[in-house]
Structure 1
Amino acid sequence: MKVGGGAFLHENFKAGGAVRFAGAHIAGQLDCSSAQLAGRDSDHCALVADLIHVDGHLLLNKKFTAAGAVRVNGANVGGQLSCSSAQLTVANTDGNALIADGIKVGGDVFLHKDFRAAGAVRLQDADIAGQLICSSAQLMGMNSESYALVADGIKVGGHVLLDEGFRARGTVKLAGAQIDGSLLLGPSELPAENALLAAGMHVSHELRWNPATQVNGLVNLERASVHRLVDCWDGDHPKAHWPPDGKLRLVAFTYETFGGTALATWQQRLGWIRCNHTTATPRNPASFASQPYEQLARVYRQAGQDNDAREIAIARRQDLRSYGDLTPLRKVFNWLMDKTIKYGYQTWRAVAGLATVYLLVFLGSLVAQHHDTAIVPAKDTKSLASAPTATKCIEDYPCFYPAAYAVDVVIPVVNVRQVENWRPNGATSYGWLYTGSAWIATGLGWALTTLAVVGYTGLVQRE
């Protein structure tokens, strides 16, 4: 059908069978506001308008009711598509109430003001130049795949609003969606199994996460990207109503900054990231990914919060030991890096430990110097006129200096030749203690020096 002006099936229009506009071209608007479509075809569709071309608006407003699905696949609407207050009381044989896959809309799409659908709303690969407004929509049905809103690959030039009491009995799917404005998620109800599947979604402005109640279903934001993540962490929103452990997917989710009236602390954000891990059991090993930690640390670092960024970086290594699939040897190495230099972020710990060991060896050497023959020459002194002792210097043999001796014992890269010339006497009283302590101090010196070197050179951080 071709219509040079508008087509009006409004006010008290009633139909006992299906209404078909497939392939029609209407130069004006198609207005079905308040129409009552009580019949349907064999596919349970009440209005069939596939590939329709409407230069103006397509209006299904003011308590428009349909006892079957509304199908507008591939439609081209120059103005708005408005279903404000529409009542789609019966779904088709696949469980869909509004089917608009591949639709192109030059203005806004309104599914708001208590819009109700007894089946899924399909907008897969739709191209909407304006906004998609589903504020207060009631999607109380779902299709055969348990979806309430299917918008895979949708392109929206403005905002997408799923707020103000928006309810969905089935899953909201926005995988691969391209939203040039903001996405406002403020639902009062989402399903308990799969709540939001938005893998690969791109939002140019804000993702506002503001559910009215706790979300318990899976929220998948893997590979999604947003410019700003806005959520609220005040007392009325415990954990900002993000889903519990194991129900949040954040791998490759990127964002530039945070916003909101009550910003999360870095500890809260760390707990938010940890929701990405499943509960670890022998039969169900925990999953672990470094990217969510690195992304969070980068945002804090760019905001000038370097201390918080370091804490996140340290927590990533600690969680790798707890949640990651490490061999026993690597777990031991991870634990050692944690307890010593915090994976290179607190290298001063190794330096402080080295200084402590040096001080202990110095004090021990000072005591041993004045203990009966506890420190003796390491070389043969029989040819000398008189035997040197730790407290007595002679001209032909190096003197014993406790400070220098401690350097030789503790710091492996420095050689002042004290150890070459002096050694603990294991045969004297407590000689075994001095000898054993020297060996332990040398081992600790090597270990702490190595940790300090790898820490300051950044080798541990780049692992």
Structure 2
Amino acid sequence: MPDGPSDAVTLRATFLRYLALGGCDACQLPETGLLVWGAHIFGDEKHSEDTKGLDFEGATLPHDLGLVFCHIPDPIILRSAKVKNLFLHGSVVKAAIKADRLQAEGGVFLREAKLAGKVQLLGARLGSNLDCDGAALQAKGEALICDRMQVEGSVFLRGAKITGEVRLLGARLGGDLDCDGAELQAKGTALICDGAKIAGAFFLRGGATVSGCIDLTDATFGSICDDPACWPPELILNRCRYGAFQGNDAPMDSDMRLKWLALQKPKKYGQDFWPDPYEHCAKVLREMGHGAEATKILIEKERLQRKARQERLYRDLEQAREEWTNSPEENSTNISAESDTGKLLRLRLHLTLIAIWDGITGFFVGYGRKPFDAVWRGLIPLWIVGTFVFANAERHGAIKPNLPQIQLNPAWVSCAADQRGQLDCFLNHPDAASYPRFNAFIYSADTLIPVVSLEMQSYWIPDDRSDRGMLARGYLWFHIAMGWALTLLTVAGFSGLIKTDNTK
């Protein structure tokens, strides 16, 4: 490939344009089009930068145009042009390629090309692929601009080295966006696909490296095929939609997907939290058969969303406190001072109650995502504790019959002075032979679960005439209250009242 002008391989841009458009009757192009190999092509126009280079603006090229391993120091202008296929394999282009609104029946092929200026394909329409495999693009700001581009095939950036932003805003791809092995470097956003619709997959594997942010806001993909080793330092997934995770390297477990979601930095953009990416990720995992992993994603989403709400309330509290501190004149009257103090107290109380409620619902029912956790974390431990408490009370005779007629029965009354204890004396009396015996295990369950009646609670109650009985009676009220609370919490979890959305 030539490094500069040479009499043997130098072509004027105007002459090349003349040949490509079929202007020479004596040298008609073959059906395969015009192929130039290893030439130095220089712009020979005397006008502005836009017309100095190889200018095909608005032209219709009836065949393919191939500039292979050529050296082109000036712009290539293809705005509103029509061409079969454009080949720039291995060529060095020192200036921009301006191909806005280009219409290609086939594709645009930039394999192994070295491009030192912007490549602009705004609003272009390609019947095949945009192939940049192995290409090196370097530009200040945007390197590859494909906003609103429509491609029937795929966009290939495999092994490409791109310094500058790759833009696909509002693009429509019938195939894939393949970044396997690509090196994307940018100070801000390395790849932005805001609003893009990509029917195939988004590939980010094979040792790909990204030094900037990948912005997939409002983008749609058929699937995502990624490798955690290739994830960017920052990711934006708000309103991004995809149908599945695919590939051997793509993680399906919640731990890795939570790390993937955590690459987002909503506070950088003035937002407390983006719940949508978590909900959609959980939806996809559930549809793929990973229901347990989806639930973990949603629980973490609830935790982060509630944490963001608490942080917002805390900011409101701090702002109110600062306003109250910085307004001494307004706070000089008693009425104003009492009003502001009341506002601060209300905000503090609200924040405290929210924090307590979030802690309780998170621990016992997973914010409504795991209602059965209330059984394992609340009801069963209380059942066991209650069994020991009530068994200890029975062992020391601090349990008595709960029926008034039994408490007035001569057998019970006559046992009050017995040395064995009133309870033991009564249980050994013939009149108590048919009375249900106390069972601490069943009694604990009967008093704990309000929707279950085992009839033990109606027959026995801790005897508050002794210290142990008073403690057991006090615990009984706590036991009953916690049973109701945990049962209602479980029901609320199943009904979806606790969740912050309707995601299943």
Q: Same fold (TM over 0.5)?
A: yes
Do structure 1's residue 141 and structure 2's residue 139 form an aligned pair? yes
Do structure 1's residue 102 and structure 2's residue 90 form an aligned pair? no
| Residue deviations 1:155-205 (CA, integer Å, cap 9, x gap) | 1112211122x2222101011111112221132342132100111222222
Which residue pairs with 2:70 in the alignment? 63
1:343·1:460 contact (CA, 8 Å) conserved in 2? yes
Do structure 1's residue 223 and structure 2's residue 218 form an aligned pair? yes
Q: Tell me how far apart the structure 2 counterparts of residues 373 and 63 of structure 1 sit (CA, whole Å).
A: 100
Describe the shift of the 1:85–1:399 C-alpha distance in structure 2 as closer, same or farther (beyond 3 A): closer
Describe the shift of the 1:383–1:47 C-alpha distance in structure 2 as closer, same or farther (beyond 3 A): closer
1:12·1:36 contact (CA, 8 Å) conserved in 2? yes
1:124·1:152 contact (CA, 8 Å) conserved in 2? yes
Deviation at 1:379, TM superposition (A): 4.6
Amino acid corresponding to residue 351 of structure 1 in structure 2:
V
Do structure 1's residue 274 and structure 2's residue 262 form an aligned pair? yes
Q: Tell me how far apart the structure 2 counterparts of residues 438 and 83 of structure 1 sit (CA, whole Å).
A: 84
Do structure 1's residue 341 and structure 2's residue 346 form an aligned pair? no
Deviation at 1:37, TM superposition (A): 1.4
Describe the shift of the 1:195–1:105 C-alpha distance in structure 2 as closer, same or farther (beyond 3 A): same
Do structure 1's residue 412 and structure 2's residue 412 form an aligned pair? no
Deviation at 1:251, TM superposition (A): 1.6
Describe the shift of the 1:18–1:89 C-alpha distance in structure 2 as closer, same or farther (beyond 3 A): farther
Do structure 1's residue 360 and structure 2's residue 380 form an aligned pair? no
Amino acid corresponding to residue 254 of structure 1 in structure 2:
R
Which residue pairs with 2:86 in the alignment? 81
Describe the shift of the 1:366–1:222 C-alpha distance in structure 2 as closer, same or farther (beyond 3 A): same
Which residue pairs with 1:118 in the alignment? 116
Amino acid corresponding to residue 371 of structure 2 in structure 1:
T
Amino acid corresponding to residue 54 of structure 1 in structure 2:
L
Deviation at 1:347, TM superposition (A): 3.3
Q: Tell me how far apart the structure 2 counterparts of residues 251 and 315 of structure 1 sit (CA, whole Å).
A: 16
Amino acid corresponding to residue 365 of structure 1 in structure 2:
F
Q: Tell me, which stretches of 5 or more residues in structure 1 are unaligned?
A: 1-9, 91-96, 233-238
Amino acid corresponding to residue 358 of structure 2 in structure 1:
N
What does residue range 197-346 of structure 1 map to in structure 2 within 5 Å? 197-210=192-205, 212=207, 214-232=209-227, 239-244=228-233, 247-264=234-251, 266=253, 267-278=255-266, 287-323=272-308, 327=313, 328=351, 329-346=353-370
What does residue range 148-187 of structure 1 map to in structure 2 within 5 Å? 148-164=143-159, 166-185=160-179, 186-187=181-182
Match 2:491 to one of 448, 453, 458: 453
Which residue pairs with 1:129 in the alignment? 127
Describe the shift of the 1:332–1:367 C-alpha distance in structure 2 as closer, same or farther (beyond 3 A): closer
Identity %: 24
Describe the shift of the 1:331–1:320 C-alpha distance in structure 2 as closer, same or farther (beyond 3 A): farther
User: What secondary structure, in the 3-state scheme, does the structure 2 residue paired with 1:361 have?
Assistant: helix
Q: Tell me how far apart the structure 2 counterparts of residues 307 and 154 of structure 1 sit (CA, whole Å).
A: 39
Q: Tell me how far apart the structure 2 counterparts of residues 382 and 31 of structure 1 sit (CA, whole Å).
A: 110
Q: Tell me how far apart the structure 1 counterparts of residues 389 and 170 of structure 2 sit (CA, whole Å).
A: 68
Describe the shift of the 1:198–1:380 C-alpha distance in structure 2 as closer, same or farther (beyond 3 A): same
Q: Tell me how far apart the structure 1 counterparts of residues 202 and 394 of structure 2 sit (CA, whole Å).
A: 71
Deviation at 1:76, TM superposition (A): 1.3
Q: Tell me, which stretches of 5 or more residues in structure 2 are unaligned?
A: 1-7, 314-350, 414-421
Q: Tell me how far apart the structure 1 counterparts of residues 402 and 356 of structure 2 sit (CA, whole Å).
A: 40
How many residues are paired up? 427
Q: Tell me how far apart the structure 2 counterparts of residues 150 and 373 of structure 1 sit (CA, whole Å).
A: 83
Which residue pairs with 1:442 in the alignment? 480
| Residue deviations 1:409-435 (CA, integer Å, cap 9, x gap) | 322345677666754343423333222
Deviation at 1:325, TM superposition (A): 5.9
2:130·2:156 contact (CA, 8 Å) conserved in 1? yes
Amino acid corresponding to residue 467 of structure 2 in structure 1:
S
Which is worse superposed, 346-355 or 146-155?
346-355
| Residue deviations 1:289-324 (CA, integer Å, cap 9, x gap) | 222222222332233233322322322223324455
Describe the shift of the 1:416–1:231 C-alpha distance in structure 2 as closer, same or farther (beyond 3 A): closer
Deviation at 1:36, TM superposition (A): 1.8
Which residue pairs with 2:468 in the alignment? 430
Deviation at 1:337, TM superposition (A): 2.1
Name the TM-score, length of structure 2 as normaliser.
Answer: 0.74
Amino acid corresponding to residue 177 of structure 1 in structure 2:
A
Q: Tell me how far apart the structure 1 counterparts of residues 409 and 207 of structure 2 sit (CA, whole Å).
A: 91
* CA-based RMSD: 3.4
2:142·2:166 contact (CA, 8 Å) conserved in 1? yes
2:153·2:173 contact (CA, 8 Å) conserved in 1? yes
User: What secondary structure, in the 3-state scheme, does the structure 1 residue paired with 2:229 have?
Assistant: helix
Name the TM-score, length of structure 1 as normaliser.
Answer: 0.80
1:171·1:194 contact (CA, 8 Å) conserved in 2? yes
2:310·2:355 contact (CA, 8 Å) conserved in 1? no
Amino acid corresponding to residue 139 of structure 2 in structure 1:
G
1:108·1:128 contact (CA, 8 Å) conserved in 2? yes
What does residue range 380-399 of structure 1 map to in structure 2 within 5 Å? 384-387=409-412, 390-391=423-424, 392=426
| Residue deviations 1:314-343 (CA, integer Å, cap 9, x gap) | 222233244556653444333222211223
Match 2:190 to one of 180, 190, 195: 195
Match 1:47 to one of 54, 70, 90: 54
Q: Tell me how far apart the structure 2 counterparts of residues 41 and 316 of structure 1 sit (CA, whole Å).
A: 61
